Structure 1
Amino acid sequence: MRAKVECPGYRDPLELKFRDQNEEVIRKSQNPTRKKRAVNALPEVVESDSNSGAVITSPQAIPEYPAQELARGYLFCNYMAGGPHAGHMSYLLPLIQNPQNAALNAALNAVGLAALSNIRMSPRMMLKARREYTTALSQTNHALRDPFLSKQDDTLAAVVLLGMFELVTCTDNSFIDRWMKHMEGAARLIEFRGPDQLARQEGLDLFSQLRAQISTSNIYREEYSSSSLTELSELAKQYRNTNDHVLDNLGLIVIRLTNFCAALKDATITDPSEIIRTALTLDAELMANFINVPSPWNYKSIDIPMVDGESILPMAWGTSYHIYHSIAASSMWNNYRSSRILIHELIIDTVTGLDSSETDQTSYQQRQHLASQSRQIARQLMEDICASAPFHLGAGSEDSMDERVAPRSGSTSPLNCSDWSHIPEATSAASKQYSPGREQPSTSWNSSPGRDSPFSKISNSSTVSSMGGLSPDLFKISGAGGLTLVWPLLIAANSGLASLELRNWITGCFDKIGYSMGINQALAMGKLLRNGSGSRAWLTPELGSPISV
């Protein structure tokens, strides 16, 4: 009516249903040129420079997404978004919203593209990631030469991401040196930024994360920590909730441990009695700090139900695993456990090195008791690190698991697996393809000879039906969980007390982290364990680097 056109009425249904197209079909089949052109016109997978609007798509993928958007989306979901398994780097969210933070955004693109390249086995995407890395490195160096820009949170965040890029892309033992250089630069930058950084939430979060990494680097190299790091750690308590003071207390004790290891290296401390006394003092302070941990930082230990004598969560080590409120909480506990393992290894090494022929029977028995006690404690700490692995690999959260598990309090209700994500395959489909520099795992999870893949246990139909629909679906895993787990696992595996079976299980964890999360650092560590290395370079540097792959 608006167009003032007379309506022709409904079309004849028979006219719609029957239509002679024989001649059209014959004509198309006799035109090979058009057919070939139509095939060639299909869109291809495109990966090119950031300036050309690169897209990654399949012939059926509509719409087309820029590669950078996919990379940033991956990092957002795995490292920045909320939830118990993510949010590890949430401080990046307000920083990346400023388009003027060019170095940070380039570093973000580099890490995201590198991780996706590893997962998808895409050399072209890795080439693009390295271009972004080069850009980010140049822009970061430029910012560091500016007195104002060098104090900005986005500059320090770019340094963090550049170090993360080295862990994601490493292919040999050189990555550890490059990563440590980034940590040295980060340490100097933290000192230069001064106390003002702690007054901002992003600055406080950056400081907390980097302090743990810097301490790990210093322990590895057996070098002293700066006094500025200690002063800033003391000052950080003023800007935190009282419940979070446990984090700074741990950081201060670990700094003292790094200085203790450095003093042993340069022979400042040589007396065995003083070594043992100092080690026991540090251990006692660590235990005292964790006796009454506030609820947000605590965890639950979950007994794993058994079916026909087999665990329904075969990816776990032992008969239980831990559930935490967050990755930050589990990382804090694993830093605590790793520190105590190193302390008790120092005690064991010191006692073993004493000349037993010059001591009386009573002193000898006391030494042996001390060494035996340290071995027992270290083994339990190793078990606890391994018990945290399922959480890091996606096995639920503190708030979501209360009604699904049988807690250690004695309840025997079975695990309800019908409404949560389940056990992952050991490698993604892409990891089964050949890729230079990424050696495939010998088994899907555990490389121990004679042991079946744990995933074969849950494929049995009786197990699936008896557990209310358990199926080998993928966990919703977070890359942040894998990134924060690799060092504690390596310390546990190389503690000198780990059994071959445990080392093989940890090797399987490294495979999972490397192939499913795109973190090559884990693959390098897994190769280290497969080669049978038992080095503990943070205690015995003459044995060589423990990352010699």
Structure 2
Amino acid sequence: MIRRLSQEAAKYRPNKDDAIVDRLSSVTIPLGDLCAAIKEGTISCPSEIVRYALDLDAQFQSIMSDIPASMGYKTVNVALAQGVPTIGTVWGSQYHTYRDITVSSIWNNYRSSRLVLLDLIVKAVGAMNTHFPGNTKDEHHQLLRQCQQISRQLVGGICASVPFHLGFMVDDSHVDKISGPTTIKDSDADNYRASKSPHLSSRSPFGVPAAGGFALMWPLLIAADSGYASKELRSWIIDCLDKIGHSMGINQALAMAQLVREGESTRAWLSPKYSSPNRDGQDGGSWNEAEAL
């Protein structure tokens, strides 16, 4: 029903920005169907899961490659001291700014959806019990490496959206213009670079914009549970969720923070057969997913 209504609504949207939302919905709904089928055991063959997931992932990439320039984002560099950001609200050396919360939410929904898809692929390939011929095994290792690399970039993109979502403004009066718009690339090498480092100032030192907090919770939880977040990053995400929860009174954000704090997996889209290994022993980095082979 939702799928049919979304398809019907798309016919009456003259604005290309709105059309992007409809196109993404047309892929996220089948993604939900795939996760449900795996959870229920309707689809259990690893090669079939990989095939479905790769097809959906290609559709996501195709949609975002056609995104209007107005829905891109800008990348801003921050100063580092001994390799550590000098601004606590930023993870890493960069953060993103967007036209509005709607655009940033579209990007994070895209990133979160792809993280789920790539996780399905990694786990399904790892669950394959057959002995591959040499060439086939090499191809699967290459696929795993690609999934891992992209997943790290997607996690980085979600984290880079946090300052914008939590209402921190850029004070760039003392620097050159912020870097130009970025569209589909999340890696540092593909982002434009600012010539100087800006300062961040909060619109409200005690509050979080409601829309920004609501839109950020699930992407942060998926990023923390993706298997590509170090202990330090997970701790930073916990702080972000706590801030959202305490500032807005959203108990769900506090519950999410507690799940991450306790190391509980929230990968409800996976059946026990494809669940992740215990994180015990994980030390400041992601486990090597390719070891499943």
Instruction: Name the TM tier (shorter chain).
Output: 0.7 to 0.9
Matched, 1:384 2:122: no
Q: 1:495 to 1:540 in 2, by over 3 A?
A: farther
Question: What is the distance in 1 between the residues matched to 2:222 and 2:5?
Answer: 27
Question: What is the distance in 2 between the residues matched to 1:234 and 1:406?
Answer: 38
SS of the residue aligned with 2:76? strand
Question: What is the distance in 1 between the residues matched to 2:97 and 2:174?
Answer: 13
Matched, 1:409 2:192: yes
Question: What is the distance in 2 between the residues matched to 1:354 and 1:402?
Answer: 55
Q: Which amino acid aligns with 2:254?
A: L
Which residue of 2 is the match for residue 243 of structure 1? 17
Which residue of 1 is the match for residue 3 of structure 2? 230
Cα deviation per residue 1:114-161 (whole Å; 9 max; x = unaligned)?
xxxxxxxxxxxxxxxxxxxxxxxxxxxxxxxxxxxxxxxxxxxxxxxx
Question: What is the distance in 1 between the residues matched to 2:17 and 2:242?
Answer: 36
Matched, 1:372 2:145: yes
Cα pair 2:38 2:271 within 8 Å, conserved? no
Cα pair 1:313 1:423 within 8 Å, conserved? no
Q: Tell me which of the two structures has the higher relative contact order, counting C-alpha pairs closer than 8 angstroms and 6 or more residues apart.
A: 2
Question: What is the distance in 2 between the residues matched to 1:525 and 1:513?
Answer: 11
Cα pair 2:108 2:158 within 8 Å, conserved? yes
Question: What is the distance in 2 between the residues matched to 1:352 and 1:500?
Answer: 24
Identity %: 43
SS of the residue aligned with 2:102? helix
Q: 1:347 to 1:379 in 2, by over 3 A?
A: same
SS of the residue aligned with 1:290? helix
For 1:495, which of 213, 226, 231 is the aligned residue? 226
SS of the residue aligned with 1:262? helix
SS of the residue aligned with 2:156? helix
Shift of 1:307: 5.7
Cα pair 1:338 1:491 within 8 Å, conserved? yes
Q: Which amino acid aligns with 1:506?
A: I
Cα deviation per residue 1:66-97 (whole Å; 9 max; x = unaligned)?
xxxxxxxxxxxxxxxxxxxxxxxxxxxxxxxx
Matched, 1:363 2:146: no
SS of the residue aligned with 1:345? helix
Shift of 1:274: 2.0
Which residue of 2 is the match for residue 317 of structure 1? 91
For 1:539, which of 252, 270, 287 is the aligned residue? 270
Greater C-alpha Rg: 1
Cα pair 1:323 1:396 within 8 Å, conserved? no
SS of the residue aligned with 1:368? helix
Q: Which amino acid aligns with 1:349?
A: K
Cα pair 1:337 1:381 within 8 Å, conserved? yes
Question: What is the distance in 1 between the residues matched to 2:258 and 2:235?
Answer: 11
Which residue of 1 is the match for residue 53 of structure 2? 279
Cα deviation per residue 1:282-303 (whole Å; 9 max; x = unaligned)?
0011001001311332211111
Q: Which amino acid aligns with 2:143?
A: L
Question: What is the distance in 2 between the residues matched to 1:275 and 1:374?
Answer: 15
Cα deviation per residue 1:406-433 (whole Å; 9 max; x = unaligned)?
4253441342x4xx73397xxxxxxxxx
Question: What is the distance in 2 between the residues matched to 1:410 and 1:500?
Answer: 28
Which residue of 2 is the match for residue 344 of structure 1? 118
Cα pair 1:296 1:325 within 8 Å, conserved? yes
Cα pair 1:305 1:406 within 8 Å, conserved? no
Shift of 1:489: 0.6
Shift of 1:384: 0.6
Q: Mapping of 1:134-173 within 5 angstroms?
A: none
Question: What is the distance in 2 between the residues matched to 1:315 and 1:481?
Answer: 15
Which residue of 2 is the match for residue 461 of structure 1? none
Q: 1:401 to 1:263 in 2, by over 3 A?
A: farther
Which residue of 2 is the match for residue 505 of structure 1? 236
Unaligned runs of 5+ in 1: 1-227, 425-473, 544-549
Shift of 1:273: 2.1
Shift of 1:253: 0.3
SS of the residue aligned with 1:412? coil
Matched, 1:252 2:26: yes
SS of the residue aligned with 2:90? coil
For 1:394, which of 167, 170, 176 is the aligned residue? 167
Q: 1:355 to 1:300 in 2, by over 3 A?
A: same
SS of the residue aligned with 1:301? strand
The number of equivalent residue pairs is 262
Cα pair 2:208 2:244 within 8 Å, conserved? no
Q: 1:401 to 1:285 in 2, by over 3 A?
A: farther
Say which structure is richer in strand. 2
Q: Which amino acid aligns with 1:393?
A: L
Question: What is the distance in 2 between the residues matched to 1:276 and 1:308?
Answer: 42
Which residue of 2 is the match for residue 486 of structure 1? 217
Cα pair 1:379 1:497 within 8 Å, conserved? yes
Question: What is the distance in 2 between the residues matched to 1:281 and 1:335?
Answer: 18
Which residue of 2 is the match for residue 203 of structure 1? none
Question: What is the distance in 2 between the residues matched to 1:312 and 1:496?
Answer: 26
CA RMSD of aligned residues (A): 2.6
Unaligned runs of 5+ in 2: 180-190, 276-293
Q: Mapping of 1:191-206 within 5 angstroms?
A: none
Q: TM-score, normalised by structure 1?
A: 0.45
For 1:327, which of 87, 101, 125 is the aligned residue? 101
Q: Which amino acid aligns with 1:493?
A: A
Shift of 1:381: 0.6
Which residue of 1 is the match for residue 289 of structure 2? none
Cα pair 2:84 2:92 within 8 Å, conserved? no
Question: What is the distance in 1 between the residues matched to 2:211 and 2:40?
Answer: 36
Shift of 1:526: 0.8
Which residue of 2 is the match for residue 191 of structure 1? none
Q: 1:401 to 1:295 in 2, by over 3 A?
A: farther
Question: What is the distance in 2 between the residues matched to 1:504 and 1:423?
Answer: 24
For 1:422, which of 184, 199, 202 is the aligned residue? 202
For 1:516, which of 206, 231, 247 is the aligned residue? 247
